[in-house]
């Protein structure tokens, strides 16, 4: 996932990024973070929260590049 973000940041080409797919990833990551919190698995919770933050920032950046930045 980091390589995909690096490619988007350097080229600013977001045509190959599917927002729906990353929203599904975000939903899954938040769900597993809640499972980690409920089961007191701190490694699962922290890993999924950090991953969700990364995925959320990618979604925000892609929406920004597609809609705000003039071509």
| pLDDT, average across residues 4-33 | 85
Break the chain into its structural domains and give their ranges. 2-67
* Tokens found for residue 68: 């705000």
Residue 67: its pLDDT value, please? 87
Residue 3: is its pLDDT beyond 90? no
**How many CB atoms are closer than 10 A to CB 29?**
20
Residue 15 pLDDT level (bands cut at 50, 70, 90)? confident
pTM of the model: 0.80
| pLDDT, average across residues 19-47 | 95
| Average per-residue pLDDT for the chain | 87
The DSSP code for 18 is -
Residue 61: is its pLDDT beyond 70? yes
* Tokens found for residue 1: 């996932």
């Amino acid at each position: 996932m980091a390589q995909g973000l690096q490619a988007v940041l350097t080229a600013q080409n977001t045509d190959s990024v599917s927002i729906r797919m990353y929203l599904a990833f975000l939903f899954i990551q938040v769900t597993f973070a809640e499972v980690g919190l409920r089961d007191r698995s701190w490694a699962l919770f922290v890993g999924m929260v950090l991953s969700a933050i990364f995925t959320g920032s990618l979604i925000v950046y892609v929406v920004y590049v597609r809609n705000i930045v003039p071509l």
